[in-house]
Structure 1
Amino acid sequence: MTVTTLVLLGVAALLVGFAKTAIGGMGSVAVAIFALVLPTKESTAAILLLLLIGDVVAVWHYRRDADLGLLRRLIPAVLPGLALGALFLAWVDDTTLRRSIGGLLLVLAALQLVLTWRSPDTTRVGSSRVAAVGTGAAAGFATMTANAAGPVMTLYLVAQGVEKRRFLGTSALFFFGVNLCKVPFSVGLGLFGAQTLWRTALLAPLVLVGTWIGLHTARRLSQTRFDQAVLVATVVSALALVVR
């Protein structure tokens, strides 16, 4: 790998850690960087292991803040979404894959903006059974195909009016479980190799540094600034998937 490649991967690893403990939508920017320097399908497995490292730190730190009630509503739809995503990943080319996910996220971000503009209280829509099933399936599909479910979950929790720490704790536990479920699918698709494991070991310390920065950033963000930041990160990450 060139020095430029190593620097880009290092920045992405920092963003992975930061996203896990602060602003989740930034994780898709890291996904975009990985896909820029690696083949897209290989990059999904390479970043998955780094995401799991960040998940462990986030779950431990926010373990008392997770809303298990919200998670129980999402989980039944996640596994079908993962299975559909694995099939999609096996059949489509890289360009179609990333643009499909990016386009979906842009639509969801636009929907959230419209709902917020028309009515500041989006909890009624966000708490519906249809929203829970749709979010679970979309998160499973997006995370399997492009490790890009962070913005999907972000939009769902923002629509619920979830407070900052409950947002971070619920997201942390959700993605730790989902990412563990993705490992067998990735192994079955033959996406793990010796080079991927070596790269993970090299970048893991930077993920931990990113989680530390994220923890300190989250403490300083007000609830309003936090909501604004996660929505902006959603749009940026979606654009990164579409245009990269």
Structure 2
Amino acid sequence: MDTITFWGLAALAVAALLVGFSKTAVSGANTVSLAIFAAVLPARESTGVLLPLLIVGDVLAVFTYRRHAHWVTLWRLFPAVAVGVVAGSVFMLWADDAAVRRSIGGILLFMAAVTLWRRRVGTDAAPATGPTDGGGSGRGLAKAGSYGVLGGFTTMVANAGGPVMSLYLLSTGFRKLGFLGTSAWFFLIVNVSKVPFSVGLGLIDGHSLLLDAALALLVVPGAFIGKACVDRIDQRLFERLVIAATVVGGLQLLLR
């Protein structure tokens, strides 16, 4: 981290702003942040640097949307997510920087494909404020389990659980505020639970926290910008830009 160039620091600063913005406005922007972090820093260590910044953003998002969470959905997801986080931790035990870099790149491209598929089949239009997939039915629990395991694994390996959870929440029928409130609480709880794993894996240490202390100052204005813009954003255009940047970032990590 002592070798980060001026332009590298500038890129990390932009990524920190996007972390805050993604937590209060458009969650897809976070995929751009993790691509920037993995490009500027060693891919494996980048996940540990990014995690505390995500938690700062989660706290701000919970403060903003705390009253709109759907806790039945959250409790249905948590057991499967825990399985995914443990699986991701096991993977990180043996994965070197190249393996993590390729994994992050592959996950980014997969998330971009999932987002494009979601838009193609028209799941962006959410008709209800809560889940409409059968609640505690076998189909609903199986769906929560599959999304939860994938979300837990991707968030542990690459801090990239956002697109998976976005797809799940949208497919179960959440409007904007319910979506933002439920995802805010979800990621605050999950990201805090990942801290002991990241410390144990050596991904979070004193040096990474010093860098976080500087970058965290930019997460806060990013969150306020997101809150101010959430009702004014041309969602379609912004999603296209996020998808394009995600694909470029994913390819860059795979071909690096």
Global fold match (TM > 0.5)? yes
Q: Flag the 1:25–1:4 CA change in 2: closer, same or farther, 3 A.
A: same
2:119 matched residue in structure 1: 113
Q: TM-score, normalised on structure 1?
A: 0.88
1:12 matched residue in structure 2: 15
Does 2:29 correspond to 1:26?
A: yes
2:78 matched residue in structure 1: 75
Q: TM-score, normalised on structure 2?
A: 0.84
- Residue 3 of structure 1: how far off its partner (Å): 1.4
Q: Is the 8 A contact 1:23 1:233 kept in 2?
A: no
User: What is the distance in 2 between the residues matched to 1:135 and 1:171?
Assistant: 14
Please list every run of 5 or more consecutive structure 1 residues that lacks an aligned counterpart in the other structure.
none
Give, as a single letter, the amino acid of the residue that structure 1 aligns with 2:35.
A
Q: Is the 8 A contact 1:135 1:152 kept in 2?
A: yes
Q: What RMSD over aligned residues (CA atoms) do the two structures have, in Å?
A: 2.5
User: What is the distance in 1 between the residues matched to 2:173 and 2:239?
Assistant: 13
1:220 matched residue in structure 2: 232
Equivalence map 1:29-40=2 (5 Å): 29-40=32-43
Equivalence map 1:73-222=2 (5 Å): 73-92=76-95, 93-116=99-122, 128-221=140-233
Aligned residue for 2:202, secondary structure, equals: coil
Q: Flag the 1:120–1:186 CA change in 2: closer, same or farther, 3 A.
A: closer
Q: Flag the 1:137–1:191 CA change in 2: closer, same or farther, 3 A.
A: same
Q: Flag the 1:145–1:3 CA change in 2: closer, same or farther, 3 A.
A: same
1:45 matched residue in structure 2: 48
Q: Is the 8 A contact 2:127 2:174 kept in 1?
A: no
Cα deviation 1:38-64 (Å, max 9, x = unaligned): 001100000100001111111011010
Q: Flag the 1:164–1:140 CA change in 2: closer, same or farther, 3 A.
A: same
Give, as a single letter, the amino acid of the residue that structure 2 aligns with 1:73.
R
Q: Is the 8 A contact 2:36 2:249 kept in 1?
A: no
Q: Is the 8 A contact 2:38 2:101 kept in 1?
A: no
Please list every run of 5 or more consecutive structure 2 residues that lacks an aligned counterpart in the other structure.
none
Q: Flag the 1:17–1:205 CA change in 2: closer, same or farther, 3 A.
A: same
Question: In percent, how many aligned pairs have the same letter?
Answer: 41
Provide the aligned length of Structure 1 versus Structure 2: 239
Larger fraction in helix? 1
Q: Flag the 1:4–1:211 CA change in 2: closer, same or farther, 3 A.
A: same
User: What is the distance in 1 between the residues matched to 2:150 and 2:157?
Assistant: 11
Aligned residue for 2:149, secondary structure, equals: helix
Q: Flag the 1:91–1:103 CA change in 2: closer, same or farther, 3 A.
A: farther
Aligned residue for 1:24, secondary structure, equals: coil
